[in-house]
């Protein structure tokens, strides 16, 4: 019986010896895959918290610091998200991303082979040094230095390919998001008339993305860099582990190497459960940093308003609150990472290092007790030690890649949310004709007509149940009414920002035939010519003569003189005829007054010469004389206007009036400026009289009181005189005493 058992075990041992190589290699590969799976984030129960799902916090409500920052929720990428991510990374077969990715893989494989060769040379160098073989030592040293050339070249190329891969990924993501965020206009159709960025920023609060700039710039950059570096952090250590394990099996005990791998895998499982949720860290940090950046941007954009109202103290409180939340989160993140890094550092460097030393020293002690003399012991030890350090470092990188993978998941989560919000906005715009937008939009380049169109805000507030009017090219409409009655809503529907819920809207097909000028002129830092031709990108004239004539009408020629002086101050060697004042770059919104800004914005209208112009109090800050010149020149250019203006001096430039009464009704009729001005003057006189009625009534009351007082005093005087007369008649006249004697 005992002999049968021995025979059975010997047969198993013989089978194992014959298939030892295949079994060990398969075990190494399985271990590596198990180590890779351990780099996935741990499952944890979902907790309902105010910060879950990466939702944005309203700046007006997010004023209290969080009591506790939850980081327990796990984010995973589903199959659909991964497919969409791949399509973005590789949009077509012409994309450079696959090329740089495969180049990165080839370079990683070459570097792994060079690492093995360097480890072997290190062992031979130490062996020749111990054996005092001078010629062999220098020969190996020359090989080691020669090997440094392809190694340095490979490392440099790997960095270059990784950066190029990141750049191409960034270009693909940015191109996709920007195409949805700021869609290009198809000149042959009006399909993209309603821009997605407007719909996104004015969406309901639960669907609004408040930090698109953060997601398009910082988040895309971080995601591109993380994705490009991911092969270095995952594939490179995996490849190193495979090759180093095979080499260790050749130089030492293969079974010992497998046992060491099992120890490493067991400890990596321990590290997995100690790992914080780096996905949540990435999402939350991006959100807090984006909110803080938006607060600083708000101070920059509204610095004048904040300064005039002395609101800097309040702004400081808001910024301090946001920074406090970011600081508290950063402190929590640092503490969580410190505990994890301490455990990782101890296990990777010391626990695995000690186990590796035991593995490397085992063959030496076995040879000692077995009286086996091996002249290459030192070389094998150095080589094994170098390979072990490389394998240990690779396994540590593989475990640390958990953080990189989770950060990638976090960035993908934020960008996916942004992309989904853009798609929803775009879908809402395109499907408006069947859902919210049930109205009809027709096109006529010489007519604007509203037919039974309601004015309803996005908050479902009905300003006007039905609006109908029509103007032909050559007509001019004055729009009047109290604040909040629907004047701006009309412009938003006309500009395509709001949907046509019902009725029929007729507008020019070419967008260039309807130009909009708001009260606050939109200017930016650029050349003077770019300000005038905005939103066009190319200048349609050969010379600046037309621009100069526009500036003469608007009395803006002093800007040209200033630009010439600025250019000559920069370069005193320039001649005046060499300077193009329309190419001078200045920060126009900061250097010009509001009135000059409105005149400069009006130059755009004169340059583009549309058939219709929508003027929303765009001349409110200019002088009445200049305002008259502006409207007169518009009529000379045959531009029909729909204008909101409060000065009665502009009425004679219009032949129709659209008056909103503020109670949900309106009137649209011909405007006789002279007659209406007479009516307005009479109304002003009547109003003045009506305003004086209380004063006149008070004066009349005072006169009545004075009259009554006078009557009372007169009555009292008459009564007194009557009494005196009666007294005189009763006693008679008195005779003097001297006459009686």
CB 151 within 8 A of CB 114: yes
Q: What is the mean pLDDT of residues 551-558?
A: 92
The pLDDT-based confidence of 262 (bands split at 50, 70, 90) is: low
What does DSSP assign to residue 665? -
Distance from C-alpha of 139 to C-alpha of 268, rounded to nearest angstrom: 41
Q: CA nearest 231: which of 358, 79, 107?
A: 107
Angle of the 377-430 helix axis to the 352-369 helix axis, nearest 10: 150
Tokens 């080691």: give the residue. Answer: 144
Domain 440-675 has CATH 3.40.30.10: no
DSSP string, 578-637: G--GGG-EEEHHHHS-HHHHHHHHHHHHHHH--SEEEEESTTTTS-HHHHHHHHHHHHHT
Average pLDDT over the chain, rounded to whole? 75
Q: Three-state DSSP class for 87?
A: helix
Flag the least confident range among 245-259, 268-282, 506-520. Answer: 245-259
The pLDDT-based confidence of 719 (bands split at 50, 70, 90) is: confident
Predicted local distance difference test score (pLDDT) of residue 188: 46
Predicted local distance difference test score (pLDDT) of residue 189: 45
Read off the tokens for 238: 């995996």
Flag the least confident range among 83-87, 103-107, 488-492, 705-709. Answer: 705-709
- Asked if the model's pLDDT at residue 684 lies above 60, the reply is yes
Higher pLDDT, 242 or 301: 301
Predicted local distance difference test score (pLDDT) of residue 613: 92
Higher pLDDT, 459 or 105: 105
Predicted local distance difference test score (pLDDT) of residue 585: 92
Predicted local distance difference test score (pLDDT) of residue 646: 76
Q: What is the mean pLDDT of residues 553-571?
A: 91
Predicted local distance difference test score (pLDDT) of residue 396: 63
Integer CA distances (angstroms), 133 to 125, 139, 171, 572, in order = 10, 10, 56, 74
Distance from C-alpha of 481 to C-alpha of 467, rounded to nearest angstrom: 14
The pLDDT-based confidence of 205 (bands split at 50, 70, 90) is: low
Rg (alpha carbons) of the chain, rounded to whole number: 43
Per-residue pLDDT tens over the stretch 476-521? 999 988 887 888 888 888 887 787 888 889 998 877 788 999 888 8
Q: What is the mean pLDDT of residues 536-542?
A: 81
Instruction: Count CB neighbours of 196 within 10 A.
Output: 22
Most confident of the following: 292-301, 367-376, 435-444: 292-301
Can you name the residues that pair with 443 across neighbouring β-strands?
507
Class of domain 2-430: mainly alpha
Distance from C-alpha of 627 to C-alpha of 553, rounded to nearest angstrom: 11
Most confident of the following: 46-55, 102-111, 124-133, 296-305: 102-111
Tokens 């770059």: give the residue. Answer: 585
Predicted local distance difference test score (pLDDT) of residue 738: 46
End-to-end CA distance of the chain, in Å? 193
CB 642 within 8 A of CB 620: no
């Amino acid at each position: 019986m005992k002999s049968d058992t021995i025979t059975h075990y010997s047969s198993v041992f013989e089978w194992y010896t014959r298939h030892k190589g295949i079994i060990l290699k398969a075990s190494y590969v399985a271990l590596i895959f198990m180590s890779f799976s351990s780099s996935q984030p741990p499952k944890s129960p979902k907790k309902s918290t105010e910060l879950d799902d990466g939702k944005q916090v309203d700046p007006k409500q997010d004023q209290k610091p969080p009591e506790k920052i939850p980081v327990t929720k796990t984010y995973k990428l589903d199959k659909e998200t991964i497919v969409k991510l791949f399509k973005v990374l590789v949009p077509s077969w012409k994309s450079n991303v696959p090329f740089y990715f495969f180049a990165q893989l080839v370079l990683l494989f070459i570097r792994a082979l060079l690492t093995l060769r360097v480890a072997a040379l290190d062992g031979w160098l130490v062996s020749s040094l111990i054996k005092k073989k001078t010629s062999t030592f220098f020969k190996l040293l020359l090989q080691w230095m020669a090997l440094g050339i392809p190694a340095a070249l490979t490392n440099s190329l790997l960095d270059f390919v990784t950066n190029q891969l990141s750049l191409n990924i960034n270009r693909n993501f940015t191109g996709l998001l920007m195409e949805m965020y700021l869609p290009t206009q198809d000149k042959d159709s009006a399909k993209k008339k309603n821009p997605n960025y407007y719909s996104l920023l004015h969406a309901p609060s639960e669907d609004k993305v408040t930090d698109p700039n953060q997601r398009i710039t910082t988040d895309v950059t971080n995601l591109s860099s993380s994705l490009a570096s991911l092969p270095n952090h995952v594939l490179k250590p995996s490849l190193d582990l495979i090759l180093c394990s095979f080499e260790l099996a050749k130089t030492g005990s293969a079974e010992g190497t497998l046992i060491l791998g099992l120890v490493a895998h067991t400890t990596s499982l321990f590290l997995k459960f100690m790992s914080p949720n780096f996905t949540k860290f990435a999402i939350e940090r991006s959100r807090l940093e984006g909110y803080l950046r938006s607060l600083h941007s708000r101070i920059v954009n509204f610095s004048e308003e904040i300064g005039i109202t002395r609101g800097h103290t309040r702004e400081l409180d808001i910024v301090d609150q946001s920074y406090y939340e970011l600081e508290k989160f950063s402190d929590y993140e640092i503490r969580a990472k410190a505990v994890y890094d301490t455990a990782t550092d101890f296990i990777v460097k010391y626990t695995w290092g000690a186990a590796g030393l035991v593995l490397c020293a085992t063959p030496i002690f076995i040879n000692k007790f077995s009286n086996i003399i091996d002249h290459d012991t030192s070389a094998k030890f150095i080589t094994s030690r170098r390979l072990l350090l490389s394998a240990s470092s690779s396994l540590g990188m593989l475990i640390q890649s958990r953080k990189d993978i989770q950060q990638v998941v976090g960035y993908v989560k934020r960008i996916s949310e942004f992309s989904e919000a853009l798609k929803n906005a775009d879908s809402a715009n395109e499907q408006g004709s069947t859902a919210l937008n049930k109205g009809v939009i027709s096109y006529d380049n010489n007519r604007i007509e509203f037919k039974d169109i309601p004015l309803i805000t996005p908050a479902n507030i009905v300003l006007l149940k039905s609006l109908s009017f029509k103007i032909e090219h050559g007509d001019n409409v004055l729009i009047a009414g109290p604040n909040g009655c629907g004047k701006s809503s009309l412009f938003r529907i006309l500009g395509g920002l709001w949907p046509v819920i019902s009725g029929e809207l007729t507008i020019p097909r070419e967008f260039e035939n309807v130009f909009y000028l708001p009260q606050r002129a939109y200017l930016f830092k650029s050349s003077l010519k770019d300000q005038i031709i905005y939103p066009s990108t190319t200048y349609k004239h050969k010379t600046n003569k037309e621009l100069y004539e526009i500036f003469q009408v608007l009395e803006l020629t002093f800007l040209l003189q200033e630009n010439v002086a600025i250019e000559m101050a920069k370069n005193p060697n320039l001649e005046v005829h060499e300077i193009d004042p329309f190419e001078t770059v200045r920060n126009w919104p900061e250097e010009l007054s509001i009135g000059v800004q409105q005149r400069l914005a009006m130059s755009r209208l004169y340059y583009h010469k549309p058939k219709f112009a929508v003027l929303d109090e765009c001349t409110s800050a200019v002088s009445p004389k200049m305002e008259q010149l502006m409207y007169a020149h518009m009529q000379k250019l045959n531009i029909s206007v729909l204008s909101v203006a409060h000065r009665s001096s502009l009425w004679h430039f219009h032949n129709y009036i659209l008056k909103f009464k503020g109670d949900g009704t309106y009137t649209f009729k011909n405007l006789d400026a002279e007659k209406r001005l007479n009516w307005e003057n009479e109304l002003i006189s009547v109003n003045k009289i009506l305003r004086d009625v209380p004063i006149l009534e008070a004066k009349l009351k005072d006169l009545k009181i004075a009259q009554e007082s006078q009557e009372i005093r007169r009555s009292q005087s008459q009564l007194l005189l009557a009494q005196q007369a009666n007294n005189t008649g009763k006693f008679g006249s008195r005779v003097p005493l001297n006459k009686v004697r």
